[in-house]
């Protein structure tokens, strides 16, 4: 694979109000099996009704997966932040790893300060998440 074939895609979206733990589990289970098949890796953040996801892999595989994700009625207001060519994967061991705010802060302490703002009722979660997802 040429290095330039490897890309990373970042987006944010809003979960449908009906989503619950079972629904999340179904999404992650499906993602893990499909991503394993297509050599796609990455992370999925969920908290306060918002998703943030990073997908990485061969451009064709990431674009195909992205096509399916965009059509999924379980979320909406999907905002693509970037598709970037990368030299190597950042999450090679995770075919899709789900995080909430606490787990994310524990795993990536460099973002703990920013993430603490999500719990601040005066700040919009989406605004905090948008700056987090630009920096991560
Ligand atoms: C927030 C969110 C993240 C998702 N992430 C992935 C993913 O990483 N890989 C994947 O194959 N499907 C993912 N899905 C599921 C796809 O949208 C889709 O339902 C699934 O791939 C099955 O597609 P199909 O019904 O067209 O076969 C995600 C769905 C949501 C709502």
pTM of the predicted model, to two decimals? 0.94
119: pLDDT strictly greater than 70: yes
On the question of pLDDT at 121 being above 80, the answer is no
Quick check: 74 and 27 in contact, CB under 8 A?
yes
**CATH number of residue 115's parent domain:** 3.30.70.100
User: Which protein residue's CA is at the shortest distance from atom 19 of ligand 1?
Assistant: 72
> Mean pLDDT over residues 104-112, rounded?
95
Cite the DSSP H helix spans in the chain: 21-38, 59-70, 101-107, 112-116, 125-135
Q: pLDDT value at position 120?
A: 80
Residue 4 clears pLDDT 70, i.e. is over it? no
Mutation test of ligand 1: which of 52, 69, 89 has the most ligand atoms closer than 8 Å to its C-beta? 69
CA distance 125 to 99: 15
Q: How far is the CA of 23 from the centre of ligand 1 (A)?
A: 12
Residue nearest to atom 8 of ligand 1 (CA): 31
Q: How many domains does the chain have?
A: 1
Q: Does the pLDDT at position 122 exceed 90? A: no
Q: How far is the CA of 136 from the centre of ligand 1 (A)?
A: 22
Domain with 100 in it: 3-135
Quote the pLDDT of residue 18: 83
């Amino acid at each position: 694979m040429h290095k330039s074939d490897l890309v990373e895609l970042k987006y944010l979206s809003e979960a449908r109000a009906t989503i619950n733990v079972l629904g999340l589990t179904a999404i992650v289970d499906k993602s893990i099996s499909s991503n394993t098949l297509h050599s796609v890796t990455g992370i999925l953040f969920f908290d306060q009704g918002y998703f943030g996801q990073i997908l990485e892999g061969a451009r064709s595989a990431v674009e195909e997966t992205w096509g399916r994700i965009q059509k999924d009625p379980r979320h909406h207001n999907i905002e693509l932040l970037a598709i970037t060519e990368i030299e190597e994967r950042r999450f090679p061991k995770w075919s899709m790893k789900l995080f909430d705010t606490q787990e994310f802060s524990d795993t990536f302490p460099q973002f703990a300060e920013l993430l603490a703002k999500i719990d601040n009722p005066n700040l919009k979660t989406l605004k905090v998440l948008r700056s987090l997802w630009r920096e991560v």
